[in-house]
Every structure is written in C-alpha cells, then in structure tokens.
C-alpha cells in the first residue's frame, strides 16, 4: 500500500542480501511499484525489461503481482486511466513470456524487499512483527495515520509518533489498534483524562508551590524545618528520585500527570486524528476493509510454473509495443539459458559447446561457457551465447565439460577438498550461515498449498514482495 517512510520504520530489521541469494527461487514482484519506479526514468519499458532480465540472469522466476479484479476504487482513483492501460499491456506480455502472474487481493506477504541494483534489502515479516511490533493491523494503522499511496494520513503524525504509539499501546496491552482507533472518540479511559484536564483548565487553578527537593506540596525551607507529610518525615524531606519508591504528590496537577503518562502519545495522535470531522472516515474504512479482507481463492489456483513461450512473438512485442531496442532484447536469450541452468525452465534444451575459461562473478568461481544459440532466437547473430556460469552448476549438470586435469585432481583429493570446503564454510562465519538459513526458512515457510502438488518445482514457492 506504499506506506510513507515505511523503509525507515523497518530499518532495524533490514538484512542485506543479493540477488544471488535468491538463485533458483521464485520472487513475487509488485508490478505496480516496479512500474511507478521505472516510470520515473526516461526509458520506462526498457527499465522494466532490464529488471526482468536481471532476475532471469540470476535464475530467479519473477511471479508478477497485479492489482486484482476486485481492486478497490481508491486505487483506481489514484492510478488513473493511463496507468491501467500500460500495466495491462505489460501483464499481457508477461503472460506471453511465460511468467506466472497473480492478484494482490490474495494473501499477505511473508516478507518484503527492496531491489537496488544487485543488492536486496530484505525485511522478514516475522522480524517486523517481533522486533518492531508491526503486524497486518499495525501496517493498516500506519497507512491511515502516517499516510500511504492512497491516503494523505493524519497531519503532524509521522513515523516517530507512530513508533511511540505502537510501543505505548503494547505497554497498555491494547489488543487491536484498529478497534482502538475506531473507539477513540468514546473511549471512557481517555475521555476521563480529557475531562479532568478540561476541569483544571476551566477552574483556572494555580499549581501550588512544590518543594524543590522532594517534589511534594510545600516549599524547601518549610520542609527543612517542619518535614513533609508525603515523605512522612518530622524534619527535612527525601531527595526526589526516579524510583517509584517515593510517595506520589497528592495535588490535582500531579495526579492528572500520572494518569496521562501511559497515554501521552496516544492522546497526542488521537487529538490530531480527531481534528478530522470523522475518524476513521469513509476512506480510512475503505483501506481497512481492503487490506483486512483475504481472498484465498485468487492465489491458490494460480499455476506458478514458468511456461515456455512463443519467444519470437515476445521479442516482436517488446520491440514494437514497448520500444525495447534490439540491443536490449539480445540479453533475453542468454538470461533464458540461465533460467534453464538453474532449473526454473524445464522444457527447453540448452547445449553447451565449449568451456572457454575459468572466471569469477561476484567473487564466486565460474566458467565462461559457450552455449548454442536457441533456434527461435532471430536476434543474436553469433550462433552462440557466451555466459558465465557457477562452476558448481556445470560440475553437476555438464560434468563432461569440467576440465580433465581438474576432475582428476578432484577425484584424487576429494576428501581433502570436502574438508577444506567445510572449514571454509566455518570461516565464512555464523552471520552468513544464519542469514542463508533465514532465507531458506522463509522460502520454505509456505505449506499446504493445493497448487504445490502440481509440481515439485513449487517447493520454493514463497511470497516475497519486492519494491
């Protein structure tokens, strides 16, 4: 829903990962946010195309998430005609490219991520919920209070106030922030505080003198001489400390202060919200309804397998309809080879021709390999693609390509290498391992989906959302 300042709010659970960490996975892409970002560049469609090729080159299957047929009116109002025309064109093309698409009306995401070139910032929903205390309802409350793509929010409520509010509500054991907000106008506890404050103000009472040492009613000289009844001392009085060990001051002002203390932020945010003639208003309720309702049917029946497409058609459309130039589209087919290599496309054959040399990509050992050009590729003219592929992938898929001396050497010292690998793993440190295991956990965290039976390739079905 595009909550204002969301990434800053989530900063403390941010994990840095790279696209390579998602190799062989499926990644749900919020197409509308991609589109909006690419729209800001001079080459919208080419930028979108390059993002797709980027994912493909890392062996990732993008699963595109679009606004569903039940997309609410407020979204339509915000997006406008031309947006819908453009995205529905893209949707058609993505379908043709064989990528699965699904509707956003479906389930909540398990995590969200920001793609910035090769770096991915990953935010796991479980961490967001545990460490920051933001679950689905809090997310909706943030949209209403701070503001989001469809809503300007409540004036003078920003991310700091919102974070304080969450903390306060948690301390006060408020179970449901949405219900709480809906009841702000009539909440008896809050109303009694406001009434009391009003009364003190209208009575125009002056705050009586307080002792500077103990903070109780009276003055320091008088307490020094006669003691303080609150401190229960016949002479002198106690030094004021933050500890609650001290008897509270009984004056009205301090009594009210104490009563207000657990609700300070809530009172402030409530006051700002209730400046609106109606809160939550119709629009707020629209947002609550939209993001609270769950329509499982939409996502459960979606087939998440990547299908082989009529690529000639795809390239034609890319060029004619989207203005992606030939030089760009050339990248599509080598990316497709990678998807086959990483098991994301199953019904396409690839033929390695020659291993050119060893190399590295992002620090990982690779081979530069020539692959035979796809027959349906009418764009590339060299008959081959030169592609960097992880050595481990080649060793397992095309062992005959692995350099002879290498494979012999490997056999000879298989044991030693295995040991070396293990200690290398160890050296990489605990952080790396736990990050990877976190990612693995979250990719395998979906269970009991009807469509999982369709293919074992949906094991890694997950619901990562990218922006």
- Piece in contact with Zn ion (CB under 5 A), picked from 44-52, 198-206, 207-215, 268-276: 207-215
- CB-facing half-sphere around the CA of 2: CA atoms within 13 A: 15
**Nearer to Zn ion by C-beta: 57 or 238?**
238
**Helices and strands in the chain, H and E counts:** 22, 10
Looking at residues 374 to 413 of the shown chain, list those that interact with Zn ion (rule: CB under 5 A). Answer: none
Q: Which is nearer to Zn ion, 74 or 253 (CB)?
A: 253
Site for Zn ion in 111-130 (CB under 5 A): none
> Nearer to Zn ion by C-beta: 115 or 231?
231
Contact code string over 302-331 relative to Zn ion, x by CB under 5 A:
------------------------------
Q: How many residues bind Zn ion (CB under 5 A)?
A: 12
Nearest distance from C-beta of residue 241 to Zn ion, angstroms: 12
Beta strands in 107-221 (DSSP E): 111-116, 119-124
Query: Cβ closer to Zn ion: 106 or 215?
Result: 215
Of 237 and 393, nearer to Zn ion (C-beta) is: 237
Asked if residues 149 and 140 have their Cβ atoms less than 8 Å apart, the reply is no
Q: Can you give the C-alpha Rg of the chain in angstroms?
A: 31
For residues 151 and 283, the answer to whether their CB atoms sit within 8 Å is yes
- Which of 79, 159, 180, 213 touches Zn ion (CB under 5 A)? 213
Region binding Zn ion by CB under 5 A among candidate stretches 183-191, 211-219, 390-398, 449-457? 211-219
CB of 266 to Zn ion, least distance (A): 24
288 lines the binding site for Zn ion (CB under 5 A): no
Q: How far apart are CA 176 and CA 169, in angstroms?
A: 9
Provide the minimum distance between the beta carbon of 432 and Zn ion in the complex, in angstroms, as a whole number. Answer: 57
**What's the farthest any 2 CA atoms get from each other in the chain?**
102
Nearer to Zn ion, 248 or 429 (CB): 248
The least distance separating Zn ion from the CB of residue 200, rounded to whole angstroms, comes to 12
> In this complex, which beta carbon is closest to Zn ion, that of residue 220 or of residue 359?
220
- Return the number of the residue (223 or 338) whose C-beta is nearest Zn ion: 223
Q: Judge contact between 54 and 92, C-beta under 8 A.
A: no
Least gap, CB of 442 to Zn ion (angstroms): 53
Beta carbon nearer to Zn ion, 80 or 245: 245
Contact call for residues 312 and 329 (beta carbons, < 8 A): no
DSSP string covering 386-428, please? EEEEEHHHHHHH-GGGS-HHHHHHHHHTHHHHHHHHHHHHHHH
Instruction: Count other Cβ atoms within 10 Å, centred on residue 299.
Output: 23
Q: Which residue, 68 or 227, is less far from Zn ion as judged by CB? A: 227
Give DSSP secondary structure letters for 74-108: HHHHHH-HHHHHHHHHHHHHHHHTT--EEETTSPP
Q: How many beta carbons lie within 10 A of that of residue 197, not counting itself? A: 14
Q: By CB under 5 A, what part of segment 233-272 binds Zn ion?
A: 237, 249, 251, 254
Q: How far is the CB of 225 from Zn ion (least distance, A)?
A: 11
d(C-alpha 312, C-alpha 327), whole Å: 15
Q: Which two tokens stand for residue 175?
A: 């179970």
Smallest gap from residue 206 Cβ to Zn ion (A): 12
* 339, burial (CB in 10 Å: exposed 0-12, middle 13-18, buried 19+): buried
Judged by CB under 5 A, the residue of 125, 142, 211, 318 near Zn ion is: 211
Give the Cα separation of 464 and 26 in Å (integer): 8
Q: How far is the CB of 195 from Zn ion (least distance, A)?
A: 20
Q: Hunting for tokens 């990528």 — which residue is that?
A: 99
Provide the minimum distance between the beta carbon of 205 and Zn ion in the complex, in angstroms, as a whole number: 12
Interface map 214-233 toward Zn ion (x if CB under 5 A) = x-x------x----x-xx--
Q: Are 153 and 145 spatial neighbours (Cβ–Cβ below 8 Å)?
A: yes
Nearest CB to Zn ion, comparing residues 213 and 330: 213
- Region near Zn ion per CB under 5 A, out of 69-77, 210-218, 290-298, 324-332: 210-218
Sequence length of the chain is: 467
Distance in Å, CB of 189 to Zn ion, minimum: 22
- What is the rounded CA–CA span in Å between residue 310 and residue 314? 6
Q: How far apart are CA 379 and CA 330, in angstroms?
A: 6
Phi and psi of 178, rounded to 5°?
Answer: -70, -45
Measuring CA to CA, which residue among 416, 92, 458, 180 is closest to residue 302?
A: 458
Interacting span for Zn ion (CB under 5 A) from 87-95, 212-220, 378-386, 444-452: 212-220
Rounded to whole angstroms, how far apart are CA atoms 191 and 197? 10
Which residue, 165 or 214, is less far from Zn ion as judged by CB? 214
- Residue 271 C-beta: closest distance to Zn ion, Å: 24
User: For Zn ion, which stretch binds (CB under 5 A), given 129-137, 205-213, 310-318, 446-454?
Assistant: 205-213
Question: Minimum Å distance from CB 201 to Zn ion?
Answer: 17
Which residues of this protein are in contact with Zn ion, per CB under 5 A? Answer: 211, 213-214, 216, 223, 228, 230-231, 237, 249, 251, 254
């Amino acid at each position: 829903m595009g909550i204002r300042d969301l990434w800053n709010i989530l900063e403390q659970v941010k994990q840095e990962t790279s696209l390579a960490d998602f190799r062989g996975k499926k990644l749900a892409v919020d197409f509308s946010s991609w589109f909006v970002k690419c729209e800001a560049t001079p080459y919208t469609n080419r930028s979108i195309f390059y993002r797709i090729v980027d994912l493909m080159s890392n062996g990732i299957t993008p699963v595109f998430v679009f606004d569903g047929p039940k997309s609410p009116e407020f979204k339509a109002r915000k997006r406008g005609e031309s947006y819908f025309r453009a995205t529905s064109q893209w949707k058609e093309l993505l379908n043709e490219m064989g990528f699965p698409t699904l509707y956003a009306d479906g389930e909540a995401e398990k995590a969200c991520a920001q793609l910035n070139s090769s770096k991915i910032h990953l935010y796991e929903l479980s961490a967001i919920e545990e460490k920051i205390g933001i679950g689905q309802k809090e997310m909706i409350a943030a949209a209403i209070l701070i503001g989001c793509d469809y809503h300007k929010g409540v004036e003078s409520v920003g991310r700091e106030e919102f974070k304080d509010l969450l903390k306060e509500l948690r301390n006060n054991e408020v179970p449901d922030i949405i219900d709480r907000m809906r009841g702000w106008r009539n909440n008896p506890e809050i109303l009694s505080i406001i009434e009391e404050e009003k009364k003190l103000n209208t009575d125009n009472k002056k705050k009586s003198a307080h002792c500077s040492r103990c903070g109780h009613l009276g003055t320091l000289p008088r307490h020094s001489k006669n003691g303080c009844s609150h401190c229960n001392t016949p002479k002198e009085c106690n030094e004021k400390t933050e500890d609650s060990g001290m008897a509270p001051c009984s004056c009205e002002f301090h009594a009210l202060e104490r009563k207000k203390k657990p609700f300070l932020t809530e009172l402030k945010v409530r006051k700002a919200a209730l400046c609106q003639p109606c809160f939550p208003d119709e629009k707020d309720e629209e947002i609550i309804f939209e993001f609270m309702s769950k329509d499982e049917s939409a996502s459960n029946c979606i087939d998440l397998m990547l299908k082989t497409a009529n690529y000639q058609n795809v390239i034609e459309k890319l060029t004619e309809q989207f203005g992606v130039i030939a030089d760009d589209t050339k990248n599509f087919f080598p990316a497709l080879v990678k998807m086959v290599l990483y098991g994301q496309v199953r019904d396409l054959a690839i033929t390695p021709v020659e291993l050119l040399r060893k190399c590295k990509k992002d620090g990982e050992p690779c081979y530069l390999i020539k692959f035979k050009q796809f027959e349906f590729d009418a764009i590339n003219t060299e008959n081959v693609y030169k592609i960097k592929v992880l050595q481990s992938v080649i060793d397992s898929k095309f062992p005959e390509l692995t350099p002879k001396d290498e494979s012999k050497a490997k056999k000879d010292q298989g044991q030693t290498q295995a040991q070396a690998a293990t200690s290398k793993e160890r050296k990489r440190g605990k952080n790396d391992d736990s990050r990877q295991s976190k990612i693995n956990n979250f990719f395998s965290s979906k269970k009991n989906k009807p469509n999982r039976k369709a293919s074992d390739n949906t094991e890694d079905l997950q619901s990562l959302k990218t922006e």
